[in-house]
Chain A
Amino acid sequence: QKEVEQNSGPLSVPEGAIASLNCTYSDRGSQSFFWYRQYSGKSPELIMFIYSNGDKEDGRFTAQLNKASQYVSLLIRDSQPSDSATYLCAVAYSGGGADGLTFGKGTHLIIQP
């Protein structure tokens, strides 16, 4: 059973600060990692993906992957009120019998003006 764990929050961060979202996964065969943002009443929107250990930056977003610790994180710099949403971590297993993306239940992020 592949599992993806996230702290449900809410995580409250002041505007302009760095928001740090964390995710752990159970299957060492997992090879692709994705972060989605979901606003209330909307569908998930892909914001970052990472495949290799280390950091990947895109604008205000940085994804970090540590396969040895089975840990992936998302940093949001200069947080804005519009970043308030639920952030979903998703993991894809690469190999026979892949079962789509396994999602965590999401972290609810609140950016306080």
Chain B
Amino acid sequence: KAGVTQTPRYLIKTRGQQVTLSCSPISGHRSVSWYQQTPGQGLQFLFEYFSETQRNKGNFPGRFSGRQFSNSRSEMNVSTLELGDSALYLCASSLGPAGGGYEQYFGPGTRLTVT
């Protein structure tokens, strides 16, 4: 069974630009969660989607948004990029929502660098 895929793997953007990251979950998984990982803050929860609905959102500004499609693929968008948005963005796939105790499996991540 194929794992979680994320595209692109690496991205360099300039301050003020916007970016869209994509995540394809494991086949049959309906929940996708997004996390930001930085050396200083560790892994921080961005948002979770289940059956095309956003269930939860972490403590991030409105510049961070996402969506989920009917095939469970998900995208996240960051508008008006700031230097502090440089991070590894991880997508995690699970059968059901995190609150239901389902195990989450991570993709390889997208390394975003903002200059």
The answer, among B43, B57, B58, B99, for a CB contact under 8 Å with A44, is B43
B-binding residues in A (CB < 8 A): 31-32, 34, 36, 42-46, 49, 51, 88, 90, 92-95, 97-106
Q: A34-B104, A105-B42 are in contact. Are A99 and B109 (CB under 8 A)?
A: no
Question: Separation in Å of the B47 CB from the closest CB of chain A?
Answer: 8
A-binding residues in B (CB < 8 A): 33, 35, 42-45, 47-48, 55-58, 88, 90, 92, 97-101, 103-109
Q: Tell me whether A98 and B106 are in contact (CB under 8 A).
A: no
Question: Separation in Å of the B74 CB from the closest CB of chain A?
Answer: 13
CA distance A36 to B104 in the complex (A): 10
Q: Tell me whether A103 and B43 are in contact (CB under 8 A).
A: yes
Q: Tell me whether A44 and B90 are in contact (CB under 8 A).
A: yes
